[in-house]
A and B are shown apart, each in its own frame.
Chain A
Amino acid sequence: MSESVKEIVRKAGLRLLRMHYESRVGHIGGNLSCLDLLVTLHHRVLAPDDRFVLSKGHAAGALYATLWTRGLLTDTDLGTFHQDDTKLAGHPPVDGIPGLLFATGSLGHGLGLATGLALAKRLRREPGRVFCLMSDGEWNEGSCWEALTFAAHQRLGGLTILVDLNGLQGFGTTSEVANLDSLADKLRGFHIDVQEIDGHDAAAIERALGAAAGASELPTAIIARTVKGHGVSFMEHRMEWHYLPLNAEQYEAAVAELSQR
């Protein structure tokens, strides 16, 4: 039996902490919130013909750590994260990362890009699905709604939207800043298939992503309820971990907690 998703998530999480600690960079909270989603997707779901777009580009570290668990990036690669002369920029680069098709980081681009890939597959009669991981704060961007309107209208059943619903954005909670509650209901208004799951339950993620496969002629959205800073109690639900790097003491405490999970 292969390694459990939980075990891989733990390994990726510890490596992610080390990357952020050694490089002294923030954004750790929104990386930890989507790690279960990224690992499950990359280890249990993505097939060779499938494509993935990371719309929440600030979770680049979580993606790099996930690709490392699949042997697609090396330890040496990760050691250069956020340093001069690295290919692993703080947001995904234009090329050089296996499976990564687009530089992202400005929010509100990924869904349109994924929509274009899904439409290209349909027009070229190619197999495969397209997955797009988005943040919840990102839905403030009007371009997301343009893309959703288009994808639903074009009935792109090959498109699966994953939303990391961690409830915290740049300078407040999503409900304080520009309340979209409930996002699920708003997406249902586009007559697409919407599922709500626990975004830290690997089995639930795998079930939802599997069920979305060809089940519908319409795009599917999976709203994954998550915790920003998941797995490190002093980071959970806390705004500062959208930005702050870890000091040595915090790093050790975080490693100790994540190792226990």
Chain B
Amino acid sequence: MRTILSTALTELCKQPDFVFLTGDLGFMALEPVREAAGARFINAGVAEQNMVTVAAGLARGGLRPWVYSIAPFLYARPFEQIRNDVCLHGLPVALVGNGGGYAYGVMGATHHALEDYGALTGLPHLTAYVPAFAEDVGAAVARIAAGNGPAYLRLGRDEKPKGFTLPPYAPWRRVLAGGGPTMLIVGPLAGGIIEALLAAPEASRPSVWVVTELPLANSAEALPAAFLEDLRRSGHLFVIEEHVAQGGVGQMLAYALCKRALAPARFTHRFAQGYPSARYGSQKFHRKESGLDPASILAALQGSAA
């Protein structure tokens, strides 16, 4: 997704108010942005608190800053700067965090982003974008650029099955039709799960939805009618996200549905459980430990059908 981001930002450089700040990261990915942006490409050094505050100052001074780092260094280290300097003022600062969820794998826990959108969507004015597929990144960048408030973009690795055709970008999309449970997936792990479900008979496999913009609105009216219809029919909501349960999409959606007396009879939630074995490995390893890998999801579906 970083390469697509680089292309989208290189295009955005043509805007006179564009400015880019990196926390000393982006080697082998952001060189085209540096080339295109010239003086408006700023390496702010390994100083994320200041980078975010400076971005707020730049935005107040009439520019549109894009701020880049590894996700946890961008939302956790400078959280107060995001809260006070950017979000309280509703400033159009775009925070781009690379490595959503366990994407940095065996690099270790300090590099993982497991509570990013839960923490950030509690802040005023902020919209979090969680592309599920590489082709969502361009749309997310365009929507951030067209918006006028704080944004967080959580990047990962594209895992879309080869040859799979996506419907056009929308904050909510049904990406796979099915007559089984109503499944809502957040982020790139959707790809592997879709791949595993493609071979299953349509009548029994889940209808798979992907949501890419947060927070979910708190009123059921803002949830798509087709999603609510799927849920009414199946009576089983299955939410999957590479994020802790606290503050995650499972909780957001349960709240929105409860508030409107639309709670389904069954609710399954698969989420990041941290480091249950205290062992480290690839993103796949950590997903498996949390039951987020396609095989575990298929097993859960078979269990729920039995």
Cβ distance B132 to chain A, nearest Cβ, rounded Å? 33
User: Which B residues contact A (CB, under 8 angstroms)?
Assistant: 19, 39-40, 42, 44-45, 47, 49-50, 53-63, 80-81, 84-85, 88-89
Decide if B53 touches A109 in the complex (CB within 8 Å).
yes
Most A-side CB within 10 Å, residue of B40, B57, B80: B57
CA distance A101 to B81 in the complex (A): 15
Q: Does B58 lie within 8 Å of A116, measured CB to CB?
A: yes
Complex Cα–Cα for A109 and B54 (A): 9
Do B80 and A103 have beta carbons less than 8 Å apart? no
Other-chain contact of A123, B39, B50, B89 (Cβ < 8 Å): B39
| A146 to B55 alpha-carbon distance, docked (Å) | 14
Asked if A103 contacts B84 (CB within 8 A), the reply is yes
CB of A30 to closest CB in B, whole Å: 20
Check A54 for interface membership: any CB of B closer than 8 A. no
Are B85 and A120 in contact, CB atoms less than 8 angstroms apart?
no
A-B pairs with beta carbons under 8 Å apart, 11 shown: A112-B85, A116-B56, A116-B61, A119-B57, A119-B58, A119-B61, A120-B62, A120-B63, A123-B40, A142-B49, A149-B45
Q: Summarize A's interface: helix, strand, loop or mixed.
A: helix
Q: In the assembled complex, which residues on chain B have CB atoms less than 8 Å from the CB atom of A142?
A: 49
Q: Which residues of A contact B57 (CB under 8 A)?
A: 112-120
Minimal Cβ-Cβ distance residue in B for A51: B61
Q: When the two chains form their complex, are residues A117 and B88 in contact, meaning their CB atoms are under 8 A apart?
A: no
- Quick check: is A80 within 8 A (CB to CB) of the other chain? no
Supposing A94-B88, A123-B40 touch, asked if A101 and B60 sit within 8 A by C-beta, the answer is yes
Residues of A within 8 A of B53 (CB): 109, 112-113, 115-116, 143, 147
List of B residues within 8 angstroms of A109 by Cβ: 53, 81, 84-85
Residues in chain B near residue A153, CB distance under 8 A: 45
- B15: min CB distance to chain A, Å: 13
Q: B45 and A150: CB pair below 8 A?
A: yes
Q: Is A42 an interface residue (CB 8 A)?
A: no
List 6 extra interface pairs beyond A121-B61, A147-B53, CB under 8 A.
Answer: A94-B88, A102-B85, A112-B49, A124-B63, A147-B54, A150-B45
